[in-house]
Amino acid sequence: MTIAITGATSGIGLETAKTLLEKGHKIIFLVRDMKKADDVLKDIPQSGNVTVIACDLADLSSVKEAAEALQESTDQLDVLINNAGGTFKERMESKDGYELHLAVNHLGHFLLVNNCLDYLKKQSTKVINVSSEAHRAAKLDFKDLNLKNNYSTIKAYANAKLYNILFTKSLVDIGLTSYALHPGVIDSGFGDNLNPLLKMFWFLGKPFMKNTRQGASTSIYLASNTLDASKNGAYFKDRKVVSCSKEANNKATRDRLWEESEGLVKDYLQH
C-alpha cells in the first residue's frame, strides 16, 4: 500500500511511519521541516520507500501546494493519516491569522483533504484522523472559532480535537471511508508547550502514559486493516470502537463546522 501521513518526523507519527515501512508499505511524509525529515530518514533502513513533501499546516498556501504534489506523487493512495497536531501554551496565530490550534489541528487537514477530494474518492483512499479524548472538554462557539475571547490552551486543544471527529463523520457523509482515533496519552514532547500548572500534572501522569510505539498502534491498525462498513466514521481507542461525546455525534454541528471551515480556507480551495 501507499500511505501518506502528516507529522511523520516525530512522536507517534514517526512510530506509525516506521512500523508501516517495516510492513513493506510505501510512505509519503507530509512535513513542515524538510531538514528534519532528511535527518530522520538517515536512521530508517527503508528510506528508499519514502517520498517527502513539504506541508506546513499553519500556512494554507503550503497546504495547497502539498495537495497538488501529493496527487502528482502517486497513482494510488490507499491511506491518508492526518496525524500532525500540537498544543501551544499561549494564544498564537498562523500565517493566515487563525488561532494556531485551529489552524494546525484542523484547518490545514481540512484544506488538504478538500483539495484532494476527487482524487481521494477515485482512489477509494481511507482517511484517518488522529483526535483525542480531550474532545470531551470542548466548548464550541461558532461565533469565536479563533478564540479571541476567553482563550485557554485546554479549550483550544479540546475544540480542535472535537473538530477532528466532526470532520471524520462529514467525510463519511460525502462518500469516503474515514475513522477518528484517540492514541492514548503519550509520553513524548507534547507536554513541553503546556503552562506550568498543566506541565506539573503532565509530569505526575508520566508513569501511566504510553510510549510512542504503543500510541501509534491504533493508527497502524486502522491503516493496515479493512474494517466492516458499519464501523465507517467510528471513533477508536486501543483499536476498538468507543463512544465519542454527544457534540461529536451532532450532524448539525458537523455541517456547520464544514461550512465555517470552507469559508476560512476559501481563498485556497481548488474548484
User: Catalytic positions, please?
Assistant: 157
Q: With 0-12 CB in 10 A as exposed, 13-18 as middle and 19+ as buried, what is 87?
A: buried
Task: Report how far residue 108's alpha carbon sits from residue 100's, in angstroms, rounded to the nearest whole number.
Answer: 10
Task: Report how far residue 190's alpha carbon sits from residue 115's, in angstroms, rounded to the nearest whole number.
Answer: 29
**Nearest CA among 225, 184, 205 for reference residue 12:** 184
Q: Which residues lie below 8 Å from residue 141, measured CB to CB, with a gap of 6+?
A: none
Q: How many CB atoms lie within 10 A of CB 59?
A: 19
Cell of 197: 500548572
Contact 54, 34 (CB under 8 A): yes
Cell of 5: 501521513
Contact 101, 159 (CB under 8 A): yes
Q: How many CB atoms lie within 10 A of CB 213?
A: 15
Q: Which residues pair with 93 in a beta bridge?
A: 99
Cell of 240: 476498538
Cα–Cα separations (whole angstroms), residue 11 to 39, 40, 186: 15, 12, 8
